Every structure is written in C-alpha cells, then in structure tokens.
Amino acid sequence: AQTVTQSQPEMSVQEAETVTLSCTYDTSESDYYLFWYKQPPSRQMILVIRQEAYKQQNATENRFSVNFQKAAKSFSLKISDSQLGDAAMYFCAYRRFKAAGNKLTFGGGTRVLVKP
Amino acid sequence: SAVISQKPSRDICQRGTSLTIQCQVDSQVTMMFWYRQQPGQSLTLIATANQGSEATYESGFVIDKFPISRPNLTFSTLTVSNMSPEDSSIYLCSVEYRESEAFFGQGTRLTVV
C-alpha cells in the first residue's frame, strides 16, 4: 500500500521569504501522480501543484515549485516570496497513474504560518 | 474545472441522530469520493461512489454507518448514521475531473454533542 509522510507538523516563514515543505512517499509503482494541496481555514482543498512521475522536469506554478526526486521518493514544495495568504495547511498526496477512480492518499499535513 | 456545492457547510447534531450531506457538481462525473478529516488530522477516504452501482467502502468504514447514494452523474449524498461524538469531523466530497485532477467541495463541519 502507498504511504505518504510529511515530517514537519508546522513551518514558520517571514513574509517575502522562502519556505520548503518536505514529503516522502512509498510505492512500488513506477508511474504515478504527486500533488500538493492547500487547505486554508475555509476548509476548501485547493490544488497547488501536480507532478507526473514520468516527467523529469520539476513542476512550477508561479511562486510554487517542487523538487521531485524519484529515486529517493521525495517530493518537496518550495514557496517563494511568501505572502500572508499562503498561511494554511499543506497536504502532499499520491495517486496511481492512469487508473480512473483511484483514490488520493494524503500525508499528515504541514501547517504554514506566515509572519508579517 | 469542476464546481462542487456541498451542503450543509456545518451542523451541530445530537448523538444517536443521522445527518445527510449533499454534494452537487456542475458537470457530469463518473467517480465521486467522500473523505473524512478528523480534527487536526489528514483526509481519509470513506468510500468511492460510482453512478448506478453500490459505493465501494475503504477498510474501517461500513455501509450501515455511512450509506451513500449516487442517483445520477452530478449528485451524491453521504449519511452519517447513529452519530456519536467520535463522528465529529469535516466531511468532504471530491470528484475526479479529467485524468488525475481532483476537485473538492467546501466541506461539512459536523459536531456531535
């Protein structure tokens, strides 16, 4: 079974600075998707970024980028130029590749605090 | 993207009663998912609902406790039955829109007293 681990329960960052969130996962599959979701106090789960395992290039979405290390089964998220609106819970998630209806497996989450 | 409307957004219920949560999607989707998020915890999948067939439940979740309906391709309900304080959680519905993209409703915060 796949497992996703986020070792940092909470991270604090100064506004405009950079913070990196860690995520490791365990799978026997060779093809899969990885995601970072943001959950603000409103409870809405918002997709931040996704990575296909077959792509070597790290995904980037504006101020958010990932460092995907397939051999190490590591998938970290970097938030650059942090803004107050980035304060939220961040969840790393895994999904099997090309398997319709397959569930997301989530890590335990990391709370990001942004200091003005 | 898919827009998901989930109702109610929150409720406070007496133990022993049941609550039905509704999830409406603005487009037809094959699979709908129901997750539970206990206080301070991550999301755990309860069941997968496919239109026209019985829901598939994850280990630890049973149909008698969490009956699910999926009458058409845009709607599903989750009922939390015979509630106890341990059922106090956020319940979220999710849909798979295009391959690999999951969208979530706003969640239902349930408090059982």
- Does the pLDDT of residue A100 top 80, yes or no? no
- The Cα A22–Cα A73 span in angstroms is 11
- The Cα A74–Cα A4 span in angstroms is 10
Mapping DSSP to helix (H, G, I), strand (E, B) and coil, where does residue A86 land?
Answer: helix
B11 with B49: CB under 8 angstroms? Answer: no
For residue range B20-31, list pLDDT tens digits in order: 999 999 999 888
Give me the pLDDT at residue B99, please.
Answer: 65
For residue range B66-103, list pLDDT tens digits in order: 999 999 999 999 999 999 999 999 999 999 876 667 88
For residue range A3-48, list pLDDT tens digits in order: 999 999 999 999 999 999 999 999 998 889 999 999 998 888 999 9
DSSP symbol at B58: P
For residue range A43-96, list pLDDT tens digits in order: 889 999 999 998 889 999 999 999 999 999 999 999 999 999 999 999 999 998
Q: Residue B92: which of A48, A6, A42, A44 has the closest Cα?
A: A44
Residues 6 or more apart whose CB falls under 8 angstroms from that of B59 comprise none
Give me the pLDDT at residue A30, please.
Answer: 87
B30 closest CB neighbour out of A45, A47, A101: A101
Strand partners, A89: A39, A111
- The Cα B82–Cα B29 span in angstroms is 30
Which residues does chain B have within 8 Å of residue A104's beta carbon, measured at their own beta carbons?
33, 43, 45, 94, 102
| The residue to which tokens 């706003």 are assigned | B106
B28 with B73: CB under 8 angstroms? Answer: yes
Give me the pLDDT at residue B30, please.
Answer: 85
Query: What does each C-alpha distance from B99 to A18, A37, A91, B34 come to in angstroms?
Result: 31, 17, 20, 18
For residue range B9-54, list pLDDT tens digits in order: 999 999 999 999 999 999 998 889 999 999 989 999 999 998 878 8
| The residue to which tokens 């994850």 are assigned | B58
- The alpha-carbon gap from B33 to the nearest alpha carbon of chain A, in Å, equals 8
Would you call A104 an interface residue with chain B, using a CB distance cutoff of 8 Å? yes
| Direct distance between the N- and C-terminal alpha carbons of chain B, in angstroms, rounded to an integer | 37
Interface test with B, best of A34, A90, A103 (most B CBs within 10 A): A103
Would you call A92 an interface residue with chain B, using a CB distance cutoff of 8 Å? no
Which residues does chain A have within 8 Å of residue B42's beta carbon, measured at their own beta carbons?
91, 106-109
Which residues does chain B have within 8 Å of residue A101's beta carbon, measured at their own beta carbons?
30-31, 48, 50, 96
Residues 6 or more apart whose CB falls under 8 angstroms from that of A33 comprise A50, A51, A52, A53, A94, A95, A96, A97, B100
A29 with A82: CB under 8 angstroms? Answer: no
